[in-house]
Amino acid sequence: MFDPAFHADPYPVYARLREEEPVHRTVMGAWIITRYADVKALLRDNNFGVFDIPGRIERKSPFLERKKIGELRTLASAMRRWLMLCDPPDHTRLRSLVNRSFTPTAVESLRPRIQETVDRLIARVRSTGRMDIVNDLACPLAVTMIASMLGVPEEAHSSVTRWADGLSRVLDPLRSLEQYAEMNNVAQEFLAYFRGLFAERRKNPKNDLISSLIAVTDQGDRLTEDEMLSVCMLMFIAGEKTTVNLLGNGVLALLNNRSEFERLRQEPTLIRSAIDEILRYDSPVQLNTRVPKKDLVLHGQTIPAGDLVYFSLGAANRDPSQFEQPDKFDITRRENRHLAFSGGIHYCLGAALALLEGQIAIGTLVREFPDMALVPGKTEWMKEIIFRGPQTLPVTFTP
């Protein structure tokens, strides 16, 4: 997991794990499950709870305080209320409050705004004949859409982008103490800004997610202000890098498989199955973390209660017992029941939004830039184990 060759191409390692040790104990003591059937079943298994990432971060705080480089309590306490880090009953209550902003109808109403944002971002670079898919298109698109749903005014979008970037690696375990201290500072700035925005919206409600959360808080004790702040932070953490990786991995897969790019250009209605295939072929989120509440025996191995378990969505999505020719990128694939959005109670809340953004952004790129090509050179992958995507993705096209 720490080897650059693994970041570049984890799939041969996944294939070996699936075949030889589908329940594997890593040198760090965590377990990794790689077969589709196991991952799918265990995601729905109530004997698994969330892994206490906020607790792990909080336990580092005394070291930072001793070195006088800060503390981590703001960050840890905001994270305690993130949906994917909560078990029921808190999870059930918090999720029901935000669910209605993400129904297919609510998301479909965002279509014009998504198309308009994609067109505006493309217009900025069109005459240059060059763009970086990650930084010129994917990041600003993902942040703009989350910020608009929440109701963050346009002038704050650049600060919000900076905070979202600063916090985006918080779920990944490969962080230094200094990086955590920096993330805690970013969390403080983020929360201070959103506290001000809540006060403003309380006076002048609008048709946005923040105003509807305020309406719920004002009804009684169903949602505290701290929980509301955490919900806002979570949207950026859960929705930014993931969508960016969908677009980055998608453009990369299409340009590395030119016949599929051409097929999509000839038949634009394939965009829906193309986006699902991208999500399966190179999943933006590679791992979910969980902890069994009691000992579990699987394929002859005993996983003790309380141990950290990784469900490898990336490996499950290339399992030949579920997908025919799993290493082939095929935008017409049928019965594509990938696990890129996870499963069970933590199934991705933003899946409909991510699919729509992916369909509009990639559909527009293929239509507008038929000769789009990768700038030759090595693709630098994010050095993360949870997320998978290119750090930058420069492409050229006829201006």
Q: What three-state secondary structure class fits 221?
A: coil
Asked if 341 interacts with ligand HEM (CB under 6 A), we say yes
Q: Which of 72, 342, 382, 386 binds ligand HEM (CB under 6 A)?
A: 342
Amino acid at 256: N
Give the angle subtended at the CA of 300 by the CAs of 294 and 306, to the nearest 5°.
25
Site for ligand HEM in 113-172 (CB under 6 A): 146
Regarding 248 and contact with ligand HEM (CB under 6 A), the answer is: no
Q: Alpha-carbon distance 237 to 166, whole Å?
A: 10
Nearer to ligand HEM, 1 or 353 (CB): 353
Q: Does 243 participate in binding ligand HEM (rule CB under 6 A)?
A: yes
Contact 361, 118 (CB under 8 A): yes
Between residue 175 and residue 214, which ones bind ligand HEM under the rule CB under 6 A? none
Tell me the three state secondary structure of residue 223. coil
Q: According to CB under 6 A, which residues from 346 to 375 bind ligand HEM?
A: 346, 348-350, 353-354
- Regarding 253 and contact with ligand HEM (CB under 6 A), the answer is no
Closest by CA position to 174, among listed 32, 396, 385: 385
- Stretch of residues binding ligand HEM (CB under 6 A), selected from 4-12, 130-138, 300-308, 338-346: 338-346
Spatial separation of the C-alpha atoms in residues 344 and 303, rounded to whole Å: 20
Binding mask 277-306 for ligand HEM (x = CB under 6 A): -------xx--x------------------
Stretch that binds ligand HEM, among 23-31, 72-80, 172-180, 344-352 (CB under 6 A): 344-352
Strand segments, DSSP code E, in the chain are: 23-25, 31-33, 48-49, 130-132, 287-292, 296-298, 301-303, 309-312, 373-374, 394-396
**CA 251 to CA 365: how far, in whole Å?**
9
For ligand HEM, the closer CB: 181 or 251: 251
Contact string 83-102 vs ligand HEM (x = CB under 6 A): xx----------x-------
Give residues in contact with ligand HEM (CB under 6 A).
Answer: 83-84, 95, 146, 234-235, 238-239, 242-243, 246, 284-285, 288, 340-342, 346, 348-350, 353-354
